[in-house]
Chain A
Amino acid sequence: MKTYTYTEKKDTRSGFGAGLTELGRKNKDVVALCADLTGSLKMNQFEKENPERFFQIGIAEANMMGIAAGLTIGGKIPFTGTFANFSTGRVYDQIRQSIAYSGKNVKICASHAGVTLGEDGATHQILEDIGLMKMLPGMIVINPCDYNQTKAATIAIANHYGPVYLRFGRPAVPVFTPENKIFEIGKAIKLNEGNDVTIAATGHLVWEALEAAKELNSLGISAEVINIHTIKPLDESAILKSVEKTGCLVSAEEHNYYGGLGESIARVLVLNNPVPQEFVATNDTFGESGTPSQLMKKYGLDSDTIIKKVEKVIARK
């Protein structure tokens, strides 16, 4: 079993900021828009280096989405930046009509997703955004796991023509993705080989899955860990190939059960190879104030919960 270590913890939003800065230097068509959260989204460097290509919209997210759609007409590649809550639910119809249905090349970049936003509480902790975005025809949905992967994903989506939802977060989390690993949209990454169970995780839960696998190994359970950074399009063959071997799966995400990665995987399993599946996700609830680690524990989004769900799913085989 491969052991993953890390030398530092960094926030995924800084990975986005670094990726955007690099894009600003390499691709003159890239423009960025922000709704009064430039510092939180780490867009300052892009703004500093490219003032003419940065648009401060103010606290007006609906207008931001519409302006982004318009900016594509004439060849620009707009990246919008605000919190995940204000990037999706608040502007769903603007995204639906002016971006998704209109087929516009807009990159919706969303920070502070999930409960790990922390102390601000449930008004800002969206746990429904993956569902909202994956339901839009043609929308790509990406939830990278660490700083390096978020940076690479930010750079990669500029080369994909069409609307993309890129979801990342606020807390510092272990950096274990190799620095120069190229991000391939829709191609899941097998992090650990295993025979007894597949753990398919996305975003912040990928590290928790690796921690769980380590612990499970000491208990004599061989877990295969797959990083599903792209929720749509889902790498169905990677999932099916893995469960062919392991015979069961646990999905793990910082999102509601309803509408999340787990449901997308369940659909693939039901249609192709209906093995038992357990879900690590929030249980149709809003979040609350607290530290990220307290909230991950309370809402069952940690390695302990993954281990429990693994034991349960193996028993169901």
Chain B
Amino acid sequence: MSVTQLNNLTTQVRRDILRMVHKVNSGHPGGSLGCTEFLVALYSEILTTNKQFEMDGVNEDLFFLSNGHISPVFYSVLARSGYFPIEELNTFRLLDSRLQGHPTTHEGLPGVRIASGSLGQGMSVAIGAALTKKLNNDIHLVYSLHGDGELQEGQNWEAIMYASANKIDNVICTIDLNGKQIDGPTDDVLNMGNIKSKFEAFDWKVVEIDNGNDLESILKGMKVAKSATGKGVPVCVLLKTIMGNGVDFMMHTHAWHGKAPNDEQLKIALSQNPETLGDY
């Protein structure tokens, strides 16, 4: 995809996110907007995937969303990558929908391989899938995304310890470093200190992307991350993002973590992100 196409897709995904959460007056726009560029880049340029979705994902890259509350961006990117019709985004969080509040395999939505929402579980799952890839001699990679606040869950550190001890070098776990969680800045809620040093102390290779809302920086950083795989160490990407990116009044605050815009706010937000590829 050209830079223009990627930018257009990013803007359209933002519109999808805003319209989805506005319609049902619930959902998590802040983290979704912050990770829009990353997921657009991942699904458009980084992942090698098969045309037909199959749960087993043999001979293709896999992606696991551990911080399941940013389902709006996940659903929009999946739909716009062809996993299911974009019209289905209309059903987000409604009764009988495959687009549950948090992603699930339970309703059979193509593109989703694990339920997430209760935090801290995705890294273990990614490692398990990576082990199966090794057993199957499948050279494709396993990617995952985690919130920074999510690192407060202890299971992550069990997984981080396991991955380096067992040389799981076919995973790239990305941490969305937006510095915010529900109750406020991560530094105030539970200061996690130097996350980079912590991963390095657990013998992971760490790749930093300082502008995680810039497509070119993401593509460049993920290329470095990919080249670091297969070398006997797990790879972590620290993706510095701005929560609420792309909507001025939602940026740099945790206020929009789990809050939908009202009619007036939606209007302003959408005016900052003009339609590019057509609304669903």
Chain A bound to chain B: yes
Q: Are B132 and A66 in contact (CB under 8 A)?
A: no
Q: How far is the CB of A119 from chain B (nearest CB, A)?
A: 29
Q: Does B133 contact A (CB under 8 A)?
A: yes
**B116 A97 Cβ-Cβ under 8 A:** yes
CB distance from A84 to the nearest CB of B (A): 20
Task: Give every chain B residue within 8 A of A75 (Cβ-Cβ).
Answer: 56, 58, 132, 136
Kindly supply a per-residue 1/0 record for chain B positions 48-70, scoring 1 wherever the CB is within 8 Å of any chain A CB and 0 otherwise.
00000001111000101000000
Also in contact, A63 and B158, with CB within 8 A (given A70-B130, A97-B118): yes
Q: How large is the interface on A (under 10, 10 to 19, 20 to 34, 35 or more residues)?
A: 20 to 34
Q: Would you give the shortest CB distance from A106 to chain B, in whole angstroms? A: 10
Q: Are the CB atoms of A98 and B106 closer together than 8 Å?
A: no
Judging by beta carbons under 8 Å apart, are A67 and B154 in contact? no
Q: Please report the C-alpha to C-alpha distance between residue A97 and residue B62 in the assembled complex, in whole angstroms.
A: 19
A73 touches B62 (CB 8 A): yes
**B residues less than 8 Å from A70 (CB atoms):** 64, 114, 124-132
Residue of B nearest to A56 (CB): B166
Bound CA–CA A30/B211 (angstroms): 43
How far does the alpha carbon of A283 sit from the alpha carbon of B158 in the complex, in Å? 36
Q: Are A71 and B132 within 8 A (Cβ)?
A: yes
Contact at B115–A98, with CB atoms within 8 Å? yes
| CB nearest to B66 among chain A residues | A66
B135 contacts chain A at the CB level, 8 A cutoff = yes
- How many A-B contacts if CB must be within 8 Å? 118
**Residues in chain B near residue A98, CB distance under 8 A:** 114-115, 121, 124-125
Using A62-B155, A97-B115 as known contacts, say yes or no to A71 and B128 having CB atoms under 8 A apart. yes
Instruction: Please tell me if B113 contacts chain A, counting CB pairs below 8 Å.
Output: yes
With a CB–CB cut-off of 8 A, which chain B residues contact A103? Answer: 105-106
Within 8 A of A (CB), among B91-111: 104-106
- B207 adjacent to chain A (CB < 8 Å): no
Give A94's nearest chain B residue, CB to CB. B121
Residues of A near B56 (CB, < 8 A) are 73-75
Which of the residues B122, B130, B131, B158 comes within 8 Å of A62, measured between beta carbons?
B158
Considering the chains assembled together, what is the distance between the CA atoms of A136 and B154 in angstroms? 23
Residue of A with least CB distance to B113? A73
Quick check: A101 and B106 within 8 Å, CB to CB? Answer: yes
Residues of the A chain whose Cβ atoms lie less than 8 Å from the Cβ of B158: 58, 60, 62-63
Distance to closest chain A CB from B79 (angstroms): 21
Are A63 and B124 interface neighbours, CB within 8 A? yes
Chain B nearest CB from A259 CB (Å) reads 22
A176 at interface (Cβ–Cβ under 8 A)? no
A29 to B: closest C-beta gap in Å: 9
A76, B132: Cβ atoms under 8 Å?
A: yes
Whether B118 and A74, one on each chain, are in contact in the complex, defined by CB atoms closer than 8 angstroms, is no
B261 to chain A, nearest CB (A): 29
Is the CB of A108 closer than 8 A to any CB of chain B? no
Q: Which residue of B is nearest A65, CB measured?
A: B124
* A84-95 contact mask (Cβ, 8 Å, vs B): 1 or 0: 000000000110
B203 close to A (CB within 8 Å): no
- Contact: A58 with B162, CB < 8 Å? yes
Q: Is A68 an interface residue (CB 8 A)?
A: yes
Q: Are B135 and A52 in contact (CB under 8 A)?
A: yes
With contacts A57-B162, A66-B121 taken as known, whether A74 is within 8 angstroms of B127 at the C-beta atoms is no
**C-alpha gap A57/B115 in the complex (Å):** 22
B258: Cβ under 8 A from any A Cβ:
no
Given contacts A73-B56, A74-B138, A103-B105, contact A62 B128 (CB under 8 A): no
Centre residue among A52, A73, A75 by max chain B CB count within 10 A: A73
Interface contact B121-A97, CB-CB below 8 Å? yes
Among A53, A63, A69, A103, which residue has the most Cβ atoms of chain B within 10 A? A63
The answer to whether A63 touches B118 (Cβ under 8 A) is no
Complexed CA–CA distance, A67 and B113 (Å) = 13
Interface pair B124/A74, CB less than 8 Å apart: no
Interface check B46, CB cutoff 8 A? no
- Cα A96 to Cα B162 in complex, Å, equals 22
B247 on the A face (CB < 8 A): no
A55 within 8 A of B: yes
Measured between alpha carbons, how far is A68 from B113 in the docked complex, in Å?
14
Tell whether A237 is near chain B: CB-to-CB under 8 Å. no
26 contacts between A and B (CB under 8 A): A52-B135, A60-B158, A64-B124, A66-B155, A67-B127, A67-B131, A69-B114, A69-B125, A70-B124, A70-B126, A70-B130, A72-B132, A73-B56, A73-B62, A73-B128, A73-B132, A74-B133, A74-B136, A75-B132, A78-B128, A93-B118, A93-B121, A98-B124, A98-B125, A102-B106, A103-B105
| 4 nearest CB pairs, A to B | A70-B128, A66-B124, A74-B132, A63-B158
9 new A-B contacts, CB < 8 A, other than A75-B56, A93-B121, are A31-B135, A55-B166, A58-B158, A63-B124, A69-B128, A70-B124, A76-B135, A101-B104, A101-B115
A residues sitting closer than 8 Å to B (CB atoms) are 31, 52-53, 55, 57-58, 60, 62-76, 78, 93-94, 96-98, 101-103
